[in-house]
Structure 1
Amino acid sequence: MNHRYTAALLVLVTVFAGVPAPVAAADQTAQCSFPMTVTDATGTEVTISEDPERVVTTNPSAAQTMWEIGARDEVVGVSQYALYLDGTSEKANVSGSSGLNVEAVIGLEPDVVLVPNTTYTAEPDRVEQLRSAGVTVVVFESGDSLDAVADKVERIGRLTGNCEAGVERADEMRTSMENMERALEDVDRPVGLNAFFGYTSGEGTFISEIMTTAGLRNGAAEANITDWGQINEELVVEMNPEYIVVPSHAPIPSGPAYNSTTAVQEGNIVVVDANSLQQPAPRAIDASEAIMKAVHPDAYERYQELQNQSETTTTADSTTATVTTADEPETTAATTTQEQTTESSAPGFSPIVAVVALALTAFLGRRR
């Protein structure tokens, strides 16, 4: 996406607010002041004493978010599945042969470690080892929507001292979602199926919302599949999806059941970059755009027009924004901010799915 712009009136949200509320510039400064105290997904109260200069991300969704808010220089460690990001060759790899390398993380002397839900779910003992060693760790909860992803972008911005950039990037996401909704008004929505290694994304997953935001109906959700679950051939035949959405690193599903579907017979297989489709980070919007372009090309053109209008309007607003003069009194920011920290983490399987075959290991790792 090239629709980046600077918002004149930046906004921050509390963790429980689904819609951002305007705040004064001084309040924004307070939100990014340190020390900052948060309560993370484990119920642990975490204090970040100073604006972090050394950040470790334990999975690619957190790393991608740091890249997208322009804070890549602050990142000193990433997981092996974040190596697709430009410049990660210069960062330390904190992945070991069997998961997070605790010693490598400690050795980097990070100011804060960002731990999305999938990392913690798979390795809670290693997170506790980091905390026992005095490392500041913030664990995020799993989310189920693109709104949750946008909220996470704002929170990571706050936690790392990049408030304005986090708000700006989150607002770009929200604007894109709104413009897609407008462009898709009165458009018939065909049934789609996300398929990867015999699994699918059901109700309550951000991938489901990526699809519906792009103008598809999620056949798996309509078949009462929740979370990430296996899909059998009978259901594929019964569902008869008109489009099949496949992450770029997974094989295109085949066999009698899939070959009988409208999607395969009409060549409606939409292959989407896995790093956009399966990571709850800003580029998830790119996945919706790719699906929308393939399924609703006319609406996609209208969407692009709306995006250009939004960018023009926001740029104009930025140009006419009122700035604080040197003569105005300085406002002292609060020194401690408390929030409940959550994250729409990489698509984590439910506990029962965590015991799937080793053939899925690479796929799950990529999604962390």
Structure 2
Amino acid sequence: MHIRRIGVVGIAVLVMIGFVSPLAAAGTTGVAGVGSAPTADKSNLTCSFPLTVTDDTGTEIELEERPESVVTINPSAAQTMWEIGAEDQVVGTTQHAENLEGAEDRTSISTESETIEHEIIIDLDPDLVLAPSSNYVTEEDVETLRGAGVTVYYFDSATSIDDVRDRTHTIGSLVGECDGAAETVDWMDEELAIVEDALEGEERPDVLYTFFGFTAGEETFIHELIEAAGGTNVAAEAGIAEYQQPTDEMIVEQDPEWLVLNTNSPEVPDAPAYESTTAVETNQTVTIKTNHLNRPGPRVVHAVTAMAEAFHPEAYAEAVADAETESETDADDESQADSDSGSDSDSDSDSTDDSDGLPGFGIVSASAALLALLGSLAVIRHGDRNP
């Protein structure tokens, strides 16, 4: 897609179709009054039914039994369902979730104008609708569906990686996949722990995210991802909040060492201000999949690791190797313990090994394959889970 100038209407369209992540200020989009809704108590989450929970509108939701048919009206919810192993329960998605394997077999609930079609959802008669807030999920949408007898669970926009963890657990509880949710969050934590180890003692490079001539400043989800990956978001440093067009003066003054692009806008803007930056002069750009960068679901981890690998290649490679070595050592110790236990003549001959191996070991081992990618810092990191 070629770089082009777009106006206020253009950026509004981009927001609607998911090119721009949710704003960080709770309650700025979606159902009115959501910002003051009570926060769910994650310690009480359960996968037993009947289940009664309160969503982020303060509405009490009752599920008599595990929902067998689920509609997701935001791609982040669909992505989470796929990640926790609950994709077979999904019967309807928006067209922007079509990147998920098998999503084309689900009913599209989108209209040509990028909104949701209430009648299609009602006709599907789902047991549950998952509705993370977005610019095209409104109070009227939720009320219309509830008025037709549809059970809708509404979420505030995720504003942090912690929010993504919480929503993953919540969705797992709602659809009866607590184990899958826990495994997904464990995977996220393992990958992010490697990044944290890599960043210890490292200097943070100055980073600018650019898409269609805009950038992301403070109060954006992307700002947090850049910071988590070990970069300094110069847009935030320059006082930009939310999504704005940076001035040429700001770009020149901040002189980013890295440019972050996305797959919907993968080219550096053709402007002298960008050409003068250290990032362009040294060819330090990294292109991230839009589905990883702009959708607050578990796969945002891929965006963080791809940026960390680009910004801190040697430190990241070392952290991956250390994690693999530690996992191999733990696995060897466990194997030796099992062997010693089996040689004990007093042990119960009918006992079995309760362990299926070190949790997450396969994931960490797969991460080692990323070392081969270090020769090209502008590539997209696919990671060990589905894109």
TM-score by length of 2: 0.71
C-alpha displacement of 1:307:
4.1
**Residues 94 and 316 of structure 1, relative CA distance in 2, 3 Å threshold:** farther
C-alpha displacement of 1:200:
1.8
Q: Distance in 2 between matches of 1:159 and 1:313?
A: 37
| SS in structure 2 of the partner of residue 100 of structure 1 | coil
Show the counterpart of 1:276: 292
Show the counterpart of 2:226: 211
Structure 2 residue 302 is matched with structure 1 residue 259 = no
Instruction: Tell me the alpha carbon deviations over residues 329-348 of structure 1, each in whole angstroms, 9 at most, x when there is no partner.
Output: xxxxxxxxxxxxxxxxxxxx
Instruction: Tell me the alpha carbon deviations over residues 74-108 of structure 1, each in whole angstroms, 9 at most, x when there is no partner.
Output: 10001001001110111110101221011111111
C-alpha displacement of 1:317:
10
Show the counterpart of 2:128: 112
* Contiguous gaps of at least 5 residues in structure 2: 1-37, 339-387
Q: Distance in 2 between matches of 1:158 and 1:311?
A: 30
Counterpart of 1:69, as a letter, is I
* Contiguous gaps of at least 5 residues in structure 1: 1-13, 22-26, 322-368
Show the counterpart of 2:35: none
Q: Which protein has the larger Cα radius of gyration, Structure 1 or Structure 2?
A: 2
Q: Distance in 1 between matches of 2:73 and 2:119?
A: 13
Q: Sequence identity, in percent?
A: 43
Show the counterpart of 2:152: 137
- Pairing of 1:147-166 with structure 2 (within 5 A): 147-166=162-181
Instruction: Tell me the alpha carbon deviations over residues 298-345 of structure 1, each in whole angstroms, 9 at most, x when there is no partner.
Output: 112123224435755887899999xxxxxxxxxxxxxxxxxxxxxxxx
Q: Distance in 2 between matches of 1:149 and 1:177?
A: 13
Show the counterpart of 1:102: 118
**Residues 303 and 88 of structure 1, relative CA distance in 2, 3 Å threshold:** same
TM-score by length of 1: 0.75
Q: Distance in 1 between matches of 2:67 and 2:326?
A: 33
Does structure 2 retain, via aligned residues, the 8 Å contact 1:247–1:278?
Answer: no
- Pairing of 1:1-368 with structure 2 (within 5 A): 31-98=46-113, 99-118=115-134, 122-252=137-267, 253-308=269-324
Greater relative contact order (CA < 8 Å, ≥ 6 in sequence) = 1
C-alpha displacement of 1:231:
2.2
Instruction: Tell me the alpha carbon deviations over residues 116-167 of structure 1, each in whole angstroms, 9 at most, x when there is no partner.
Output: 1105x65331221101001000111112211211121111111111111111
**Residues 188 and 15 of structure 1, relative CA distance in 2, 3 Å threshold:** same
Show the counterpart of 1:354: none
Coordinate RMSD, CA, aligned:
2.6
Counterpart of 1:127, as a letter, is V
**Residues 224 and 37 of structure 1, relative CA distance in 2, 3 Å threshold:** farther
Q: Distance in 2 between matches of 1:151 and 1:171?
A: 12
Instruction: Tell me the alpha carbon deviations over residues 222-271 of structure 1, each in whole angstroms, 9 at most, x when there is no partner.
Output: 22223333322222122111111011111422211111111111111111
**Residues 309 and 241 of structure 1, relative CA distance in 2, 3 Å threshold:** same
Show the counterpart of 2:383: none
**Residues 125 and 15 of structure 1, relative CA distance in 2, 3 Å threshold:** closer
Does structure 1 retain, via aligned residues, the 8 Å contact 2:226–2:232?
Answer: yes
Does structure 2 retain, via aligned residues, the 8 Å contact 1:237–1:258?
Answer: yes
Counterpart of 2:231, as a letter, is L
Q: Distance in 1 between matches of 2:62 and 2:213?
A: 42
Does structure 1 retain, via aligned residues, the 8 Å contact 2:40–2:54?
Answer: no
C-alpha displacement of 1:50:
1.5
